A and B are shown apart, each in its own frame.
Chain A
Amino acid sequence: MLETKEIHFYYGAFHALKNISMTMDDHTVTAFIGPSGCGKSTFLRLFNRMNDLIPDTHLTGQCLIEGQDIYQKTVDVTTLRKKVGMVFQKPNPFPKSIFENVAYGLRVDGIKDKNFIRQRVEESLKGAALWEEVKDQLKKPAFELSGGQQQRLCIARALAIEPSVILMDEPASALDPISTSKIEDLIHSLKEKYTIVIVTHNMQQAARVSNKTGFFMLGELIEFNDTKKIFLSPEKEATQNYITGRFG
């Protein structure tokens, strides 16, 4: 379970997230929508502390995963990131073979057992619905895959280290509609095992894949509710204006 309590986040003096408290249940898909610069990506990145990489940022409030505050000093960031996988906007496979891409997280973790690695790679590729397409060419450079395949490879890469949460930052915005729908189907099947949080520009995508949707605007969480509720009868006028395209 992911939970935030009164989160405030600053880039230098810029107040990027304002007092955000919410709870996301296990094995659900939660989507964040909102106009560009509304803070939804920033919020997503809180959960695996990717914002740590940006200098001059500052956070107050609590961010809990399974009850533990991940911003405590005792928390090891690398361990956290193994538990909270992430998929990025543009597919970013490493310049290695397909196999090595998926095995990367394991190798970084110090695992040497070849059989174990091979098995885990296969499982992860199957989990990402890519196995059938690549099983005969695991040695091929990952760059030779299509964009959609690359993105599923990145998902497989994240699955290989057995996270409990998967964060997705606009995972399909760089892909064509066919690849997009494959990724969306994949998200549906991953929901069984993982807690998924997804940021998307595409409202329909949020509607299609998520159980719950949060609408962000200007760093505030305007509305957070069941996706059906948000898209059929949102409570806030701002939400309504945004999802109907009347925004601004």
Chain B
Amino acid sequence: MKHTEKELLALKEEVSQMWKLVLSQLEKAKQAFLNDDFELAREVVSREKRVNSFELKIDSDCENYIALYNPVAIDLRLALSLFKICSTLERIADFAEGIARHVIEENCEPFSAEMKTQLRIETMFDTAIEMFSDSYEALDSENTKLAGKILSKDEIVDEIYIHSIKILAEAIRKQMITAECGLHILLVMRKIERIGDHCSNIVEEIVFYIDAKVLKHHKNKVDI
């Protein structure tokens, strides 16, 4: 294998390491939130530093790769995609940390299981995580067929989020939960919704890398 290819593969490998780390952060944040697990939440917060250092490392490797090897065509698209994906991953990890911090900082009563089902919060978590791991799958297998599936999942996430506002407003009005706690939950759900958006961005980058198509700000991206 050529030397330059090796360099690029190493870069890709680093990104997938980071991906796995962020995925586990997400999973743990979900568990911590759903089970009100303080320990797990703290773990997520403390591991955020690792994600950040990962980002710095990949950033500089990307810079070096571009500076030294002057990549063109697919190599250049991959390097640029990885560069952007890397910062997106860091954002997603930030959200995971944010969710974990909610778990640690709020003093709300754990809300009822009925409420949880009504809010479909677990589904939302799962969908977002699925999107995230599917987009990894798409990058790893360089398969853009998954893109449409992932983007359509984002609509589910959005729908759950919009729906949750009504449910939470209703619950606060009925004083089933305190307004403060309700807002906290909304913020968490808002973060999950953002994770979904970021996953969409990642997918767009992957499509740019593999098919050299720009999907950003397109209306009908789901049709891909």
Cβ of A232 within 8 Å of any chain B Cβ, yes or no, is: yes
Bound complex: CA of A181 vs CA of B2, how far in Å?
A: 8
CB-CB under 8 A from A207, the residues of chain B are: 67-70
Complex Cα spacing A209 to B68, Å: 9
Q: Per-position contact with A for B62-74: 1 when CB-CB < 8 Å, else 0?
A: 0110011110000
> Which chain A residues lie closer than 8 Å to B70 at the CB level?
204, 207
Is the CB–CB distance between B67 and A231 below 8 Å?
A: yes
Distance, CA A207 to CA B71, complexed state (A): 12
Interfacial chain B residues near A184, Cβ < 8 Å: 3
What 1/0 mask marks residues of chain A from 216 to 235 whose CB sits below 8 Å from any chain B CB?
A: 00000000000110011000
Inter-subunit contact B64/A232 (CB<8 Å): yes
CB-defined interface of A180-193 with B at 8 Å, one 1/0 digit per residue?
01001100100000
* B4 adjacent to chain A (CB < 8 Å): yes
Within 8 A of B (CB), among A188-211: 188, 204, 207-209
Contacts between chains A and B (CB distance < 8 A), count = 26
Q: Which residues on the B side are within 8 Å of A188 (C-beta)?
A: 3
Secondary structure type dominating chain A contacts? helix
Q: What is the bound-complex CA distance between A158 and B64, given in angstroms?
A: 32
Contact check, B3 vs A228: say whether CB atoms are below 8 A apart.
Answer: no
CB proximity of B80 to chain A, nearest CB, Å = 16
- Chain B residues positioned under 8 Å from A185 (CB to CB): 2-3
* Beta-carbon contact of A228 and B4 below 8 Å: no
Cα distance A188–B68 when bound, in Å? 14
Q: Specify the chain A residue showing the minimal Cβ separation from B4.
A: A208
Complexed CA–CA distance, A199 and B219 (Å): 53
* Nearest CB in chain B: distance from A125 CB, A: 21
Determine the distance from Cα of A184 to Cα of B70 in the docked complex, in whole angstroms: 15
Residues of B within 8 A of A204 (CB): 69-70
Q: Which residues of A contact B68 (CB under 8 A)?
A: 207-208, 227-228, 231
Chain B residues lying within 8 Å of A181, measured Cβ to Cβ, are 2
B67 touches A228 (CB 8 A): yes
Instruction: Identify the closest chain A residue to B2 (Cβ).
Output: A185
Which residues of B44-86 have CB atoms within 8 Å of chain A's CB atoms? 63-64, 67-70
Residues on A with beta carbons closer than 8 Å to the beta carbon of B2:
181, 185
CA distance A184 to B3 in the complex (A): 8
Q: Could you say which residues of chain B place their CB within 8 Å of the CB of A208?
A: 3-4, 68-69
Q: How far is the CA of A49 from the CA of B110 in the complex (A)?
A: 81
Interface string of B23-63 (1 = CB under 8 A from A): 00000000000000000000000000000000000000001
For B65, give the chain A residue with the smallest CB separation: A228
- Bound form: Cα–Cα A204–B70 in Å: 7
Interchain CA distance A10-B21 in the complex, whole Å: 59
| CA of A231 to CA of B60, assembled, Å | 12
Question: Please, which residue of chain B has its CB at the minimum distance from the CB of A210?
Answer: B68
Q: Mark B1-22, 1 if CB is under 8 A from A, else 0.
A: 0111000000000000000000
Chain A residue numbers with a CB within 8 Å of B63 are 232
**Closest 10 pairs between A and B when the two form their complex, measured CB to CB:** A207-B68, A231-B67, A232-B67, A188-B3, A228-B64, A204-B70, A185-B3, A231-B68, A232-B63, A208-B69
Instruction: List B residues at the A interface (Cβ < 8 Å).
Output: 2-4, 63-64, 67-70
**A interface vs B, CB < 8 Å?**
181, 184-185, 188, 204, 207-209, 227-228, 231-232
